[in-house]
Homo-oligomer: A and B are copies of this chain.
Amino acid sequence: MPGVTPDVENKGEARVNILFLMIDQLRYDYLGCTGHPTIRTPNIDALAARGVRFDRAYVQSPICGPSRMSFYTGRYTHSHGATWNGVPLPVGEMTLGDHLRPLGMNTVLCGKSHMAPDRAGMDRLGIDPKSTVGQRLSECGFDAWLRHDGELPESMDGVATPYQDYLRSKGYDGSNPWNEWANAAEDSDGTLRSGWLLKYARQPARVANEDTETPWTTTRAIDYLEQAGDAPWCLHVSYIKPHWPYVAPAPYHDMYSPEDVVPPVRAETERDNPHPIFGDYQKKRVSQALSRDEVRDTVIPAYMGLISQLDDEIGRLLKYLDDTGQRDTTMIVLTSDHGDYLGDHWMGEKELFHDCSSRVPLIVVDPRAEADTTRGTVSDALVEAIDLVPTFVQAAGGQPRYEVLEGRSLIGHLHGQQGPWRDHVISEYDYDFKSTRLSLDQPIGECRLAMIFDGRYKLMHAEGFRPMLHDLAADPQELHDLGEDPAHVKTRARLMDRLNAWYRRHHSRTTISDAEIARRAGGDMKKGIFLGFWDEAELAAARKAGVSGN
């Protein structure tokens, strides 16, 4: 990457295990340590005090599947091609496990990955999906200790999944206990109410706290650690909550009240001639719902309750590591795959690039002495989700393969030795799969959005439409779109030039390293390939002069 100093070298630091915690749909600003005025997340806050909190971390796409494929491959969505939920990750893409296993690390999933396997690719390459390679390709390179992607709606009635099996074992009956118990509430008169419906978000789930997805996933993670033995591991504990449906169990369902809800970040002017993409998203049902105060006051307390539940469970998991003497040998990383508008900017869900959607919390605790100087600090470096794979490779004692990986290791930041760093982040979104494509009459393949943020200005390029632009120095809440402001012509052009330069970079030249290129350059003569020599005398002179190639 131009302008970025090389990695801090591995100088024989102790290698560490890696606990990689992902919290689904957690906004960057819904933690105590990131400034939320009412939420209680003491365990996560304590974690931040032990490591570095990266305050300007952005995902590569503000939606589960593509974001995770970038987290797990270390590559932009433009590169790995799994641009939306359910788009198979091409079989040739390397994943975290491919980078860590050669370093001797078990790379294990406990929870959600949102991986869609490339069955056609496996078939083409003659790979049996049931073989070890095939199973890993099906699970995004992880060994799946537990795979649980959440949502088990009616269409999955009768489908056996680990969580359904667990619920049944605990006496929650029916063809789909998730749908009928975990994602359901009941009225005072005993009427069953669907957890999909926002109105019931303040009712407790019909399952005991210990049987909800967050504690169950935590227990399964501890089960893994119990039997892990001495082999190094990277354990990805990947929670489905507080992702919708917004259903929390007691006591978390009423831990927060409307008084704890912060006001929405929005301005009437945002509804006045908005960017066409933004305007269409504002019209979506979920946006209209979350634009109502009644809905926010019902949903957000549940969202916050789910986060406090997560905080308790993460506390339990960290205590297990402490109790088993693993505190000093485990790197702990906590992040999210994207945020949640929650009514900000007249929107629900995620998918566009306002900070509440594309910016995520990121805490990294490196237990080694080299990181002592940075403990409890906050970094404002522009960080991307794709930086985690190379960070993990270095933590495991290896050298990141930058011909494949498009992020950069954060170890330099953690060890207080980082030189110049990247000056922008990129995030992308493919709305081919959304009704917005139809509303705006765009051809399939042309529904590409890309955001570039340089630390002050954030530009969204939308093929076929004008850009959006926000100046986060003057307008940190991103309420004033400068996408058509004549005063910002140069800023828009500068960011678009930079974005285009990023597109033009190598994204697919993955089979040769810079070191190998340097080694190969001009080696023709050694091989006996002689180009452009008239006669023996010329050739002899060149050989004498040590000419090596062309």
Contacts and interface: CB of A to CB of B under 8 A. Distances in A.
Interface of A: 2, 78-83, 86-94, 98, 118, 120-121, 124-127, 131-133, 137, 151, 153-156, 179, 194, 196-199, 244, 284-290, 295, 348-349, 430, 432-435, 437-438, 443-446, 448, 450, 463, 500-501, 503-512, 514, 517-518, 520-522, 526-536, 539, 542, 549-550
B92 A121 contact: yes
Contacts of A348: 531-532
A516 to B, nearest CB: 9
Contact of A445 (B92, B155, B290, B506): B506
30 contacts: A81-B511, A82-B509, A82-B511, A88-B511, A90-B92, A90-B508, A92-B92, A92-B121, A98-B124, A118-B511, A126-B131, A126-B133, A151-B529, A153-B529, A153-B530, A154-B527, A194-B530, A196-B529, A199-B534, A199-B535, A244-B531, A285-B531, A285-B542, A285-B550, A349-B550, A430-B509, A433-B517, A435-B550, A445-B514, A463-B504
Contact of A196 (B92, B118, B179, B533): B533
B286 A81 contact: no
Nearest to A518: B444
A89 B512 CA distance: 10
A289 B534 contact: yes
A511 B295 contact: no
Given A2-B446, A433-B517, A433-B521, A295 B534 contact: yes
A521 B121 CA distance: 23
Given A435-B522, A522-B435, A78 B289 contact: no
Contacts of A196: 529-531, 533, 539
A91 B285 contact: no
Contact of A155 (B199, B527, B535): B527
Given A286-B531, A433-B521, 11 more contacts: A2-B443, A89-B511, A118-B511, A121-B511, A153-B530, A244-B531, A284-B550, A432-B517, A434-B521, A448-B506, A450-B504
A529 B87 CA distance: 18
Contacts of A509: 81-83, 87, 430
Contacts of A289: 532-534
A526 B155 contact: yes
A504 B531 CA distance: 37
Q: How many subunits of this chain does the assembly comprise?
A: 2
Nearest to A496: B500
Contacts of A199: 534-535
A532 B444 CA distance: 26
A536 B286 CA distance: 15
A1 B317 CA distance: 51
Nearest to A549: B435
B500 A504 contact: yes
A356 to B, nearest CB: 17
A265 to B, nearest CB: 19
Nearest to A78: B508
A312 to B, nearest CB: 27
The 10 closest A-B pairs by CB, nearest first: A92-B92, A286-B532, A153-B528, A81-B508, A154-B528, A285-B532, A88-B511, A503-B503, A196-B530, A500-B500
A448 B504 contact: yes
Given A83-B506, A87-B509, A435-B521, A527 B153 contact: yes
A502 to B, nearest CB: 9
A520 B85 CA distance: 11
Contacts of A288: 532
A82 B509 CA distance: 6
A125 B133 contact: yes
A70 to B, nearest CB: 12
Contacts of A90: 92, 508, 510-511
A349 B153 contact: no
Contacts of A532: 198, 284-290, 348-349
A74 to B, nearest CB: 14
A151 B504 CA distance: 33
Contact of A124 (B94, B153, B507): B94
Contacts of A510: 81, 90
A443 B517 CA distance: 11
A197 to B, nearest CB: 5
A508 B197 contact: no
Given A2-B446, A153-B528, A503 B504 contact: yes
A451 to B, nearest CB: 13
A314 to B, nearest CB: 27
A143 to B, nearest CB: 15
B438 A507 contact: no
Nearest to A98: B124
A81 B510 CA distance: 7
A90 B93 CA distance: 9
B93 A92 contact: yes
Contact of A286 (B124, B133, B550): B550
